[in-house]
């Protein structure tokens, strides 16, 4: 088995146990061995988020989006990271910064939805278009 895979498994086990510091360390070791491995980068970014290292998580999220321009999860994650950062800014009384971060989070969420729809159309070209708001039956 490759070293990067071993580190990744250690990282995922640590992440699953809530040991984000150990997960970050192991994800980073995996990425030394295989730097553009977006799966490990996703894990690293989420562990960083849980450690409130949002700037680093955002940096990793943008790196993923640069490597794989069609990865909707990269933009979903970025949206989450920016939302968390906006909440911190709000609590600190930085209203203007919080609003800018919320806008960025919304933009990233839109990119994620657009990429997901493109993937859906490629895999299911006969899928009906989404209907107007309220047109879907919701089951409680």
- Is residue 131 assigned to a domain? no
The per-residue pLDDT for range 107-121, each reduced to its tens digit, is 777 887 877 878 777
- Is residue 139 assigned to a domain? no
- Is residue 132 assigned to a domain? no
- Is residue 130 assigned to a domain? no
Residue 13, domain extent: 3-123
- pLDDT of residue 129 exceeding 80, the answer is no
- pLDDT of residue 81 exceeding 60, the answer is yes
- Is residue 133 assigned to a domain? no
**Alpha-carbon span 51 to 44, nearest angstrom:** 11
Helices (H), the chain: 3-16, 20-33, 38-50, 54-67, 72-91, 95-123
Number of domains in the chain: 1
The per-residue pLDDT for range 31-71, each reduced to its tens digit, is 999 999 999 999 999 999 999 999 999 999 999 999 999 89
- pLDDT in the model for residue 103: 82
- pLDDT in the model for residue 51: 97
22 to 13, 29, 60, 91: CA distances (angstroms): 9, 11, 17, 29
Three-state secondary structure string covering 17-47: CCCHHHHHHHHHHHHHHCCCCHHHHHHHHHH
- pLDDT in the model for residue 133: 60
**Alpha-carbon span 96 to 47, nearest angstrom:** 28
- Is residue 137 assigned to a domain? no
- Is residue 25 assigned to a domain? yes
128 to 98, 121, 135, 137: CA distances (angstroms): 37, 9, 13, 15
- Is residue 12 assigned to a domain? yes
More reliable by pLDDT, 133 or 85 = 85
CATH code, 70: 1.25.40.10
Confidence of residue 20 (pLDDT cuts 50, 70, 90): very high
């Amino acid at each position: 088995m490759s070293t990067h895979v071993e580190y990744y498994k250690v990282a995922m086990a640590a992440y699953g146990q809530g040991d984000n510091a150990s997960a970050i360390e192991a994800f980073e070791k995996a990425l030394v061995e295989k730097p553009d491995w977006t799966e490990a980068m996703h894990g690293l970014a989420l562990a960083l988020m849980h450690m409130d290292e949002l700037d680093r998580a955002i940096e990793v999220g943008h790196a993923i989006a640069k490597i794989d321009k069609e990865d909707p999860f990269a933009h979903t994650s970025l949206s989450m990271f920016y939302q968390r950062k906006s909440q911190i800014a709000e609590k600190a009384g930085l209203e203007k910064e919080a609003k800018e971060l919320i806008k960025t989070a919304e933009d990233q969420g839109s990119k994620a939805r657009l990429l997901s729809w493109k993937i859906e159309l490629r895999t299911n070209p006969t899928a009906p278009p989404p209907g107007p708001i309220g047109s879907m039956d919701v089951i409680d």
